[in-house]
A and B are shown apart, each in its own frame.
Chain A
Amino acid sequence: MTNLRIERLCKTFGTFTALDDVSLEIPTGKFVCLLGPSGCGKTTLLRVIAGLEAPSGGRIFVNGEDQTRMPTHRRDMGMVFQSLALFPHLDVAGNITYPLAIRGADRASRAARAEELLELVRLPGMGARRIDQLSGGQRQRVAIARGLAIDPKVFLLDEPLSALDAGLREHMQIELRQIQQSLGVTTIVVTHDQKEALTMADLVIVMKDGVIQQAGAPMEIYRNPANAFVAGFIGTTNLLPCAIHDGTIEVLGARLPITEGDRIGVDHGAVQLSVRPEHIGIVPTGKGAIEAEVTFVRDLGESRHVLLQASGQEIIAQLTPETQASYRPGDRVSLDFRPGERVVVT
């Protein structure tokens, strides 16, 4: 069932177009990440869905009901803000049950619900704490609990984890995903962190300049990017100018036969070949298709990145830990682009 449907949504601020003809459908219970660089319109889209911004055009349907003109406070949404926006004048329980108090729930049911939600976010018994007595991670959890207090129709989060340090952020990503799965609530998270999106989402929506570039499952987007922007934004990739001729990809002076699994999105005009670093094999010189020279070796612990130069193009290749060979700047090597993992995009 479709929970949220957005039809041809536009939003302009003066001469700036924040959203340009955005349409999408989100099925009930999905975890969606809006992903893109800053200024791509992802936060604006979230705010329009919440009703905090009025769209310049287009319509929003929630459970089949047109909510385009509905005031924010009647939409029954849950939201976690970037600043978290916890109320300093209320304690933890007061914050969590604020949406219930607004809806006239009595004291006893509010207290029970607060404890239930605190269990859910693993802060049992913390209801009487003041907000300024909490750590960053605890505040995060309180904000999530508050957003979920009314069983929202859609749960919206605007860069919710950006203030946390790296370790805690990864932990919270997993926890947020687990909470969402246990409740089955349709969730939309805005993020600029592609790892975060890949960790949590059922559906990743990549945006740029107010336009949806691609929407799909994380691995689908990773393996089959719709264009060069998506290929470069999701994970690391090598984008190399190429041409398609008679069943071959012409790249860096070599002709690679197209094999099953290679994804040729376009075959004319200025096209680029996207090859992930982990799909580049380094072989002794003369044994592979493309000759290259090592310029730098970057040891990352769990893997090694080898930076190479081939026909004036910079290329990154990733070595698996079991690779015994060691390379040094100046070494001459040959490269193989793994068949079936080559993507041609504009």
Chain B
Amino acid sequence: MRATPGWVGLWPALMLAIFFLVPFGIMLAVSVSHRDPAGAFIPGFELTHYARFLSAFFAKVMAVSVGVSVAAAAICVVLAFPFTVFLASMSHRTQTVALVVLLSVLSLSEVIIGFSLSTLLSKTAGISNLFYWLGLIAEPRAYTPSLFALVTGLCYIGFPFAVLVLYPPVSRLDPEIVEAARVMGASASRAFFGVVVPNLRGAIVGAFILVFVFTLGSYLLPQLLGRSEDWTLSVHITDQAIYQTNLPFAAAMSIFLMLVALALVGLASLAGRQRRAA
């Protein structure tokens, strides 16, 4: 068989340039152009939009965005990891059913998930009525909008992704290494944290990064489930771009968000690699 010719590699490079680099370049150009309140923007060069972003208000928004996504990613990984380890020890049939159910969750749109959760957490029809009926609380109450509701929603979306990233390496892990650790004197929990977790560090970091990046771009759930102070940067970008017709400012915020995301992803993967080398 003949080797694949090198020029075939140009095709993905071309696609990447057309659909990623060019739009990114446009966004970069828009972010330094002049805002025209009547229309979109007037080409030019000014850094006023970046300057506007450097305020206490947007610093807080950025902190909320990163905090919410880090929390959602951490919760997803902490829940998904033991779940996946447990799932991998089940019969093949059970594994298939569980994975299909998880995949079907991915087919639900963010809107449906958001409205379902806001109903479930509401005062009139929500889960608090069940707690009230059981006598756990004095009267039904609303759990939404709140930070808790927002993180719950993001976790609901992120969990299947975390499982799907973790599943292949977890199911490939030799079950005998756990037994080996047990025979050699490790308790069940020690074998789990001392042998299973370190051997899957790469997968754990990968799942964390995926959920983090994925939830960072979520702009619907914060509006459906969060209070206005829980609004993430993605919500503000949407707000500026669509409702305030301030495309330059929205573009500048997008670039900030991207830089912060890249920095965090880099940090996380560096942490994953260093630990493995140690």
Binding site for B on A (CB under 8 A): 50-52, 71-79, 81-83, 85-89, 98-99, 102-103, 146, 149-150, 156
What's the minimum C-beta distance from A286 to chain B, rounded to whole angstroms?
A: 61
> In the complex, A58→B25 CA distance in Å?
75
> In the complex, A156→B183 CA distance in Å?
10
Task: Tell me if A's interface is mostly helix, strand, loop or mixed.
Answer: loop
Smallest Cβ-Cβ distance to A90: which chain B residue: B198
Contact yes or no, A79 B186, CB < 8 A: no
Contact yes or no, A102 B190, CB < 8 A: yes
Contact yes or no, B180 A76, CB < 8 A: no
| Cross-chain pair count, CB within 8 angstroms | 64
Smallest Cβ-Cβ distance to A74: which chain B residue: B185
Smallest Cβ-Cβ distance to B191: which chain A residue: A73
Interface residues on B, range: 10 to 19
- CB-CB under 8 A from A51, the residues of chain B are 182-183
Extra contacts besides A75-B183, A89-B201 (8): CB < 8 Å? A71-B187, A73-B184, A79-B184, A81-B180, A87-B177, A87-B195, A89-B198, A102-B186
Contact yes or no, A73 B276, CB < 8 A: no
Contact yes or no, A99 B198, CB < 8 A: no
Q: A82-B176, A85-B177, A87-B177 in contact; A52/B195 too (CB < 8 A)?
A: no
- CB-CB under 8 A from A78, the residues of chain B are 183-184
Within 8 A of A (CB), among B207-227: none
> In the complex, A88→B169 CA distance in Å?
13
Q: A87-B195, A87-B199 in contact; A98/B176 too (CB < 8 A)?
A: no
Within 8 A of A (CB), among B165-182: 174, 176-177, 179-182
Q: B26-49 CB contact bits vs A (8 Å, 1 = yes)?
A: 000000000000000000000000
Smallest Cβ-Cβ distance to B180: which chain A residue: A85
Instruction: Give 3 closest A-B pairs by Cβ, nearest first.
Output: A85-B180, A85-B176, A99-B184
Contact yes or no, B183 A52, CB < 8 A: yes
Contact yes or no, B182 A52, CB < 8 A: yes
Other-chain contact of B185, A85, A88, A99 (Cβ < 8 Å): A99
Q: B186-202 CB contact bits vs A (8 Å, 1 = yes)?
A: 11001000110011010
